[in-house]
Structure 1
Amino acid sequence: WEIQHFYTKEYKIAHEALNSIESMFQIHMDEDEAGFIAIHIVTAEHGDKVDDVYELTRLIQDIMNIVKYYFKIELDERSLYYQRFVTHLKFFSYRVLSYKNSKDNELLKNDLLEIIKEKYVNPYLCALKIKSFVEQRYEYILDDEEILYLLIHISQVIQFSKEECSK
């Protein structure tokens, strides 16, 4: 499930590969094989090891679970906001797992965080839960820029998911 939803492009390619294998060799393979092929495509794209991609996927899933449980909501996985959030979490997770922080334009982002966190209290508190989780598990310190971007993506995906639930 995670692979299909977090690596949609790679999963589609893997699914096409399964269809090609079946038509060329008359060998039927289970749907699970598309996930394994997709993982290999992701590792080839980024030069990672398979274990690194599994850890990346686990971190993304853990963060998604924090958001879902914090807001007690199911996220609309078809929404553009969900896809943007997943994309952000992929890059965020790469930074966490490689211990790379960016420190550009910190003053502006600190001011912006101060303004936005007052308007979006719950997404901010959720971002702080993610911060605490990441710091405990990965010994990676989130800076204000990362908290700001998490807050923005969380507020968008939650707002859209709530709107969809109320329809």
Structure 2
Amino acid sequence: MIVVKNINNNVSLCLDSQNNEVVVFGKGVGFCKPPYDIPLDRIEKTFYNVSDDMVERLNTIRPEILDVSSGIIDLANQKLGNQFGANAIFTLADHIQFAETRQKENIVLSLPILSEVSQNYPDEYFIGKKALELIKEKLGIAFSKEEASAIALHLVNYESSHTGDSNRENGQLINETVEIIERELSIQINKESFNYHRFVTHMFYLFKRVRTDCMIDTDNHQMYDSIRTQFPQISHCADLIRELIGKAYDRTLSDEEVMYMILHINRMCDREDCDR
């Protein structure tokens, strides 16, 4: 196994004997300067078919969070069946790091659907609770119990998107949502980017909450007003998307759901993933 690029001290991009690219996990695999032949006994995990964009995104995620995410997905595979691969590890790691940022900035993710998640997805919720224990043990981060629900929903979404349960209506809504964003902001979104897939993940969560009448809805009006003032153009996009979703599901999105949508749109379009 030839290392061609080090992502961090414990993760490297390699070429196997068939010249296929593979992301490799292992203690200290990224210490030496590439290219070099890494002993197979130092390799703990290998992941094929990882997109170039996702490989680049790994540089932005702390190694210790990647390690914890890998451990959580191992638990999920044991409990739920061997169905979660590299993408699940990397997107969950990004979710954890973003959750840590929210906590540091005192942005509270209120999930009134906690009881519904534990009842409707008990296995995934079990993994969510175990994830919080592992995160606290390995990273020293004490998340609120709502984050167990958020991680459970992350797993549910991954299962749905990889088993064909996502219906045609959801796909159409995503396409129409992206069309609104590109039209109103005069941008072209890179559909292969990590941030685009993160936004799509958020929207699938949102659709699920809308369908089950479990929308996030608290009295966080001051933050909602502040974010709308800070991002007026994106807020207009979110209003159009709110109308689109409202017509599709015959429900009205809460202000807090719109607020989180604004934040996710801004995060996606404030990076290099959009051509202006």
Question: Could you say which TM-score interval applies, normalised by the shorter chain?
Answer: 0.5 to 0.7
SS of aligned partner of 1:133: helix
**Higher Cα Rg: structure 1 or 2?**
2
Q: Distance in 2 between matches of 1:43 and 1:91?
A: 7
- Quote the residue 2:213 is aligned against: 99
Deviation at 1:161, TM superposition (A): 4.5
SS of aligned partner of 1:99: coil
SS of aligned partner of 2:189: coil
CA contact (8 A) 2:157 2:201 kept: no
State the one-letter code of the partner of 1:101: M
- Match among 207, 223, 226 for residue 112 of structure 1: 223
Uncovered stretches (5+) of structure 2, i.e. residues with no partner: 1-82, 88-155
Aligned-pair identity in percent equals 24
CA contact (8 A) 1:127 1:147 kept: yes
CA contact (8 A) 2:157 2:204 kept: no
Q: Distance in 2 between matches of 1:79 and 1:45?
A: 20
Q: Distance in 2 between matches of 1:154 and 1:59?
A: 15
With over 3 angstroms needed to count, the CA separation of the structure-2 counterparts of 1:43 and 1:66, relative to structure 1, is same
Q: Which runs of 4+ in 1 moved over 6 A?
A: none
CA contact (8 A) 1:59 1:93 kept: no
Q: Deviations over 1:18-60 (max 9, x none)?
A: xxxxxxxxxxxxxxxxxxxxxxxx99934xx968622222222
Give yes or no for the alignment of 1:80 onto 2:80. Answer: no
- Match among 240, 256, 261 for residue 145 of structure 1: 256
- Match among 165, 169, 180 for residue 66 of structure 1: 180
Q: Distance in 1 between matches of 2:197 and 2:158?
A: 22
With over 3 angstroms needed to count, the CA separation of the structure-2 counterparts of 1:159 and 1:102, relative to structure 1, is closer
Q: Distance in 2 between matches of 1:44 and 1:160?
A: 24
With over 3 angstroms needed to count, the CA separation of the structure-2 counterparts of 1:58 and 1:99, relative to structure 1, is farther
Whichever structure has more strand as a proportion of its residues is 2
Give yes or no for the alignment of 1:129 onto 2:237. Answer: no
- Quote the residue 2:275 is aligned against: 165
- Quote the residue 1:24 is aligned against: none
Matches within 5 A, 1:22-37: none
How many residues end up aligned between the 2 structures? Answer: 125
Q: Deviations over 1:110-156 (max 9, x none)?
A: 21111111111001111011111122232111101100011001112
CA contact (8 A) 1:128 1:147 kept: yes
With over 3 angstroms needed to count, the CA separation of the structure-2 counterparts of 1:165 and 1:45, relative to structure 1, is closer
Q: TM-score, normalised by structure 2?
A: 0.39
State the one-letter code of the partner of 2:199: F
SS of aligned partner of 1:160: coil
State the one-letter code of the partner of 1:153: H
Whichever structure has more helix as a proportion of its residues is 1
CA root-mean-square deviation: 3.3
CA contact (8 A) 1:131 1:147 kept: yes
